[in-house]
Amino acid sequence: MRATDLADVAPATGIVWAYRFGADGVAELIPNEQADSALAEHGAGWIWVHLGLADTRCRAWILHHAPISDLAREVLVGQDRHLRLDIVGQETLGVLPDLHQEFAEPGEDLVRLRFVMTERMLITARQQPVHSLEVNRRAIEAGKRFPTAISLLDAVVDHFADAVGRMAEKLGGELDRAEDHVMRDEPVTDRAGIGRVRLQAVRVHRQLAQLRTMFLRLEPRVAADNAQVGRAIRRLGQKLDSIDHEMTSLHERARLLLDELDSRMMAVTNQRLFVLSVLTACILPPTLVTGFFGMNTKDLPFQNTDAGTWFAAAAALAAGLTCFWALRRLRAF
């Protein structure tokens, strides 16, 4: 059976999970095949549906079954990786950054979380496993309550900020160890690791800067209708600003540390070149003497003299010592 046929037969089976939240925020896991009927209800509470875009059936469900606008469908199934956060009518839709979930721990790769939210539902979609959603799903299974869709989305962004904060602590620890080696004049073998820290810091900084800008732009519009949500957005913006400042500091520290390593390596190279230059200058006169005695012409000095070789060697040594003495007098070193 072709993939498109499978999507048409059972699109709801491509849903990763679906939860129904009561008015008190208590969650109930609902079967995938009941997701459509749950979204059609008009009772108290709200619905969260999470989709994996790698599954063709999820894309089919978004395009043909999800009760959202055409613009929201484009956002959920789109390939654009640019961050966005917009309010269109009754829908809040966007593309947010998050960390890739690798088994039990978050990775360092940044992935995209797409969502559409209304007062009664939250639909999230991702191409790869997302850390913040997995953390919140486990919290829901443990009994955590989310009375509104915005409270869950707020928790998702908050967990992303916390994960980035822990990443910053880990990267900062790596820089601390490298700086200790540099300050003690010990060899730093993991130069590539410092470069990786700098690269990761600048990558995360780009995402945080865009996210903060979106929150600052959206806050006045949201606060006019809902002061509580506006305060939540302001709080998240301040938290992201603090973490972004730390990431910027890590990037600057890594850059300065690499510059320090380059400077020290250049100093060692210059010292070695200086020693080599002095040795070359001291050896040049003896080389001239040995070249003179090696011309194989008549009437060379000491040619018929007993111990003439030693006299020639003494002349070569004297030439080298004279050059060394002259360099010292000139304070060349």
pLDDT, averaged per 10 consecutive residues of the chain (333 residues), comes to 42 78 89 83 85 85 86 87 83 86 75 89 89 90 90 88 87 84 73 83 86 80 71 80 86 86 82 82 77 71 73 79 78 68
Nearest to 166 by CA among 209, 112, 108: 108
Indicate the Cα dihedral angle 241, 242, 248, 250, nearest 10°. Answer: -160
Q: Which residues contact 162 (CB under 8 A, 6 or more apart)?
A: none
- State whether residue 126 is helix, strand or coil: strand
pLDDT digits (tens, 9 = 90+) for 262-304: 888 888 888 888 888 877 777 877 787 777 777 776 767 766 7
24 CB neighbour count, 10 Å cutoff: 9
Distance from C-alpha of 183 to C-alpha of 202, rounded to nearest angstrom: 25
Tokens of 99: 């960390």
**pLDDT for the residue numbered 21:** 92
For strands 84-88 and 46-52, give the pairing. Answer: unpaired
Domains of the chain, earliest start first = 1-147 (3.30.460.20), 278-329 (1.20.58)
Contact 132, 156 (CB under 8 A): yes
**pLDDT for the residue numbered 13:** 62
**pLDDT for the residue numbered 7:** 41
**Which residues share a beta bridge with 84?**
95
149 CB neighbour count, 10 Å cutoff: 21
pLDDT digits (tens, 9 = 90+) for 93-132: 888 888 888 766 777 788 889 999 888 899 999 888 888 9
Contact 241, 209 (CB under 8 A): no
Say what the pTM is.
Answer: 0.74
Q: What are phi and psi of 297, to 5 degrees?
A: -110, 170
Distance from C-alpha of 250 to C-alpha of 252, rounded to nearest angstrom: 5
Nearest to 56 by CA among 4, 21, 16: 4
Tokens of 188: 């730093």
Tokens of 90: 């009754």
Burial pattern 54-67, b for ≥16 Cβ within 10 A else e, equals ebebbbbbbeeebe
Tokens of 100: 């890739």
**pLDDT for the residue numbered 12:** 60
Distance from C-alpha of 46 to C-alpha of 146, rounded to nearest angstrom: 10
Distance from C-alpha of 142 to C-alpha of 4, rounded to nearest angstrom: 37
- Radius of gyration, alpha carbons of the chain: 35
